[in-house]
Amino acid sequence: MKAGTVLKFLVSFFILGTTFCAAEDIESAKQNVARSIDARFDFYSEISRQIWNWAELAFIEDKSSALLQKTLKDEGFEVETGVGGMPTAFVASYGSGKPVIGILAEFDALPGMSQKVSTKHEPLVEGGNGHGCGHNLFGTGSTAAAIAVKQWLVKSGTKGTVRLYGCPAEEAGGGKRFLTDAGVFDDVDAVLHWHPYDRNDASPYTTLAMSTARFKFHGKSAHAAGFPELGRSALDGVEAMDYMVNLMREHISQESRIHYVITDGGKAPNVVPDYAEVYYFIRHPDLNVLNDLCDRVAAAADGAAKGTGTTVEYEIISGCPSILINDVLSKVVDENLRIVGGIKYTPEEEKFAQAIHDTLGEDALPLGAEKIIEPYGHKKSPCSTDIGYVSMIAPSAQLVTATWVSGTPAHTWQAVAVGANSIAEKGMIVAAKTMALTAIDLYSNPETVKKAKEEFLQRRDTDEVYRPATKLQPELDMYKPKEK
């Protein structure tokens, strides 16, 4: 063999060996990171259960936010509080330089969802709050992932920044809207998030864009029996609006969702109510169609007011675009979810799960979904989330894990009942490990981050900076030009 040929062979062998060793080191590092999260199972379970017990509502998650902040500060993160004008919002950062990998954390509860860890409907506090969407798990699992990534950055000497975004008020108020407007995601290269569910799946899914508003009717009070002719019922205005919107349902697309509750209908039957209020959620996957629906609902309110001799005004509560999917990131998440694997119940957990499942009805998904990873593919969700805002700023990917018993819907007492149980906490740890391993892949493969950004720009189809709108028609003016 000639000297030149030998040299080329040795160089090729060295490069191949170096690549192999690097890959081997990454896999070894990922195994160590996964083990480090497993080792703190009890620690993170305790945090999750504490947040479950507090069950704090949107924008007032004071203790829940403070506990997550302290946990991150104790690990060396720099924490900025009160972000976006919200006292319970925070951004916890560690590291320096690029890439910047963000992880979202939620921690708000739902009103009226109080429930014991029980296999029957049994409120912990009558009329109290409860974590019917598992945000106690969401916030804690994301925190666990961020800490594991930070520890890996230190140990490996890898350059980059990990950020945990403490996001208030997902259930009511759309807190990420204010975070987006504050620009805290503008320099992020990729965003990871997860959600409790009844199965394990890292498929990219779109959601419904949404606008929410309170319609406030004003009338004139009078004695309902003695002087009814002098009164103008604000409740009549609400009921007339609701009736017209319900007639409208026949003439809207199948993907649309409109739902409401009367939040104030008066105080006594013998007093004509001079004030009444109805709270609406309006949803559709396409923003332009959503805007048309909003116009039609608002027109129904105006017509109801004119027909009942009342007046109406509306207050925008929140809104959000649908999630912009990213296949490049989602496939990395899916690969790591399959590495982590599903969940295995102990005999005691199986007994508890079966008892919960027996309350779900005959059509519920059979038990066993917690063991498997769902096939990868694009999916559509009929729900909405303010994560849609974030997905318009930076490439993002999500997963769901089996924190609930197979077949359990969100916002039910069964979801709350399992939320402070080892069944749910096992799912939370699966999510934490999956996000941490995904982050390691992104730090280690700049080309993946680059391709994710290219896909993001292509799908968003604009290079303008996204900022949320403030109208009932929430997103027609959603793009504002870049500052020069």
Whether 430 has a pLDDT exceeding 90, the answer reads yes
Do 182 and 291 belong together in one domain? Answer: no
Look at residue 473 in the predicted model and tell me its pLDDT: 39
Number of domains in the chain: 2
Domain presence at residue 7: no
Name the pLDDT band for 287 (thresholds 50, 70, 90): confident
Whether 104 has a pLDDT exceeding 90, the answer reads yes
Whether 15 has a pLDDT exceeding 70, the answer reads no
Whether 477 has a pLDDT exceeding 60, the answer reads no
Half-sphere exposure of 484 (CA within 13 A, CB side): 0
Domain presence at residue 463: no
Average pLDDT of the segment spanning 314-321: 85
Whether 49 has a pLDDT exceeding 70, the answer reads yes
Q: Is the dihedral of CA 364, 333, 382, 315 positive or negative?
A: positive
Average pLDDT of the segment spanning 17-35: 74
Do 232 and 334 belong together in one domain? Answer: no
Do 290 and 381 belong together in one domain? Answer: no
For residues 328 and 333, give the distance between their C-alpha atoms in angstroms, rounded to a whole number. 9
CA dist 79 to 74, 313, 372, Å?
Answer: 11, 40, 37
Name the pLDDT band for 22 (thresholds 50, 70, 90): low
Look at residue 173 in the predicted model and tell me its pLDDT: 79
Look at residue 19 in the predicted model and tell me its pLDDT: 41
Domain presence at residue 17: no
The tokens describing 287, both together, are 């923003």
Do 282 and 362 belong together in one domain? Answer: no
Domain presence at residue 471: no
Name the pLDDT band for 4 (thresholds 50, 70, 90): low
Name the pLDDT band for 474 (thresholds 50, 70, 90): very low
Look at residue 465 in the predicted model and tell me its pLDDT: 59
Look at residue 24 in the predicted model and tell me its pLDDT: 56
Do 32 and 100 belong together in one domain? Answer: yes
For residues 33 and 156, give the distance between their C-alpha atoms in angstroms, rounded to a whole number. 11
CATH number of the domain where residue 197 is located = 3.40.630.10
Mean pLDDT in the chain?
A: 91
Do 415 and 287 belong together in one domain? Answer: no
Whether 479 has a pLDDT exceeding 80, the answer reads no
The more confidently predicted of residues 13 and 325 is 325
The SS3 of residue 135 is: helix
* Residue after which a domain boundary falls, among 319, 354, 385: 319
The SS3 of residue 470 is: coil
For residues 178 and 94, give the distance between their C-alpha atoms in angstroms, rounded to a whole number. 22
Q: Which domain holds residue 304?
A: 209-319
Look at residue 288 in the predicted model and tell me its pLDDT: 83
CB 175 within 8 A of CB 168: yes
For residues 426 and 200, give the distance between their C-alpha atoms in angstroms, rounded to a whole number. 12
The tokens describing 204, both together, are 């990219």
Do 306 and 447 belong together in one domain? Answer: no
Residues with Cβ within 8 Å of residue 276, at least 6 apart in sequence: 216, 217, 219, 233, 234, 235, 237, 238, 262, 264, 265, 266
Domain presence at residue 364: yes
For residues 55 and 403, give the distance between their C-alpha atoms in angstroms, rounded to a whole number. 17
User: End-to-end CA distance of the chain, in Å?
Assistant: 61
Q: In this prediction, what percent of the chain has a pLDDT beyond 70?
A: 90
Name the pLDDT band for 466 (thresholds 50, 70, 90): low
Helices (H) then strands (E): counts for the chain = 13, 14
Average pLDDT of the segment spanning 279-297: 91
Average pLDDT of the segment spanning 258-279: 97
For residues 41 and 422, give the distance between their C-alpha atoms in angstroms, rounded to a whole number. 10
Do 117 and 132 belong together in one domain? Answer: yes
Do 133 and 248 belong together in one domain? Answer: no
- β-strand 311-320 against 209-218: which pairing, if any? antiparallel
Look at residue 3 in the predicted model and tell me its pLDDT: 52
Whether 81 has a pLDDT exceeding 90, the answer reads yes
Domain presence at residue 13: no
CATH number of the domain where residue 214 is located = 3.30.70.360
Q: What is the DSSP string of 344-397?
A: ---HHHHHHHHHHHTTS-TTSPPTTGGGSBPPP--EE-S---THHHHHTTS-EE
Look at residue 267 in the predicted model and tell me its pLDDT: 95
Do 342 and 412 belong together in one domain? Answer: yes
Domain presence at residue 338: yes
Domain presence at residue 1: no
The tokens describing 312, both together, are 């109406």
86-95 confidence digits (pLDDT tens)? 999 999 999 9
Average pLDDT of the segment spanning 303-313: 97
Do 187 and 248 belong together in one domain? Answer: no
Look at residue 429 in the predicted model and tell me its pLDDT: 98
Look at residue 315 in the predicted model and tell me its pLDDT: 87
Q: Give φ, ψ of 203 to 5 degrees.
A: -65, 145
Do 254 and 128 belong together in one domain? Answer: no
For residues 309 and 185, give the distance between their C-alpha atoms in angstroms, rounded to a whole number. 47
Helix, strand, coil percentages for the chain (3-state, nearest 5): 45, 20, 35
| 454 CB neighbour count, 10 Å cutoff | 12
* Residue after which a domain boundary falls, among 273, 297, 319: 319
Average pLDDT of the segment spanning 44-73: 98
